[in-house]
Structure 1
């Protein structure tokens, strides 16, 4: 790892704090941290690997904050978290085997679709609804599917988890946000283990940014728990649209 000046490290930690705040509410914190790491001199692969290091702390911190408010039972989520973890390792290992660049072409359309759903779906609030899928089936299908995607590609994984909890598990927006965090942390960890083998993360930088992520995530989860869907929905629309635009910009 190259020497990072102290002032640059502070700026990266501030970026991580902002990312942790946004990610704890709507996902998409990588929109801030990955470009920040590239601007700091990391090549794209190193930036992604380092992002996985710090990206574990924010969702995990948010998950504990939501759990303290009784919005999620983390102990009951461990089977799903393990499925997400294992699937993300599989996804990361398949990066060289699957047409990743082709798959990326459909991501902006999918992300904009999610933004439109949250923007215009009537009655989308914090109230739970009828389940469309049992917890066992949900944990055996959608969770590993999104975990695999997170290891393979990554952008929007937290939003996909959240959407699954709303559409299939019948949860309200706030509870779905809370339940997505531990799974997102698990899939980030699985991706990190693979990246640690095939790349060289900036471990010290990643851990320092992770400490800032914890603070940002605690603040974001506290605010989201108090305001619920009124805050989460508009921020999710903005973040998913920004992810879609960023992906399209990268291809120009």
Structure 2
């Protein structure tokens, strides 16, 4: 019945005190609702528009579902990364680790796992610090069937997830959606066909005309103005300034 436990988050030391740290840690782990994200994803998939919705309503519904799905993904990955960090640094005090783990710590965990650089303070065995070995250790508890194939699949998926999580753009998007919905939805449009049938924005038409007029005569063909792609791109960026 340990009454205290020392651990580190990244390289910051902490001590948790309780009348029974092991009991609290086990209670926290058993209370984790592993099916939450699966159920939430099911709710989002079933939240489509109704027949009475107009086009604008349907468009807004898709935007809302998109934002909620993206926020759910970010939150789930952050939770997974923190669990991996606790597995590496504080398996005996996961409940305390979660209370002290910050967003920048979670990012550090993801980058550390991807780099294969063993944390200075860790609770894992003296084996090479790799994502594959971490998953092998989890297998000892989970008992997955067909161990090698399952670990290999998890490794491929987690490597991509951790790479995305470690990117700075991930935190920008997550914070923008989470804190006040500061992220706005954009639109995607693809147009193809003769020029007279394509509704180019006025400013873009002006930019293209100016670029074509600046084109030497040697770059024109069959009596029609044409400009090299790299010069058109350079002229566009100049016009925007």
**TM-score interval for Structure 1 and Structure 2 normalised by the shorter chain:** under 0.3
Q: Higher helix fraction: Structure 1 or Structure 2?
A: 1
Structure with bigger gyration radius: 2
Q: Which has the higher contact order (CA 8 A, sep 6+)?
A: 1
Q: Higher strand fraction: Structure 1 or Structure 2?
A: 2
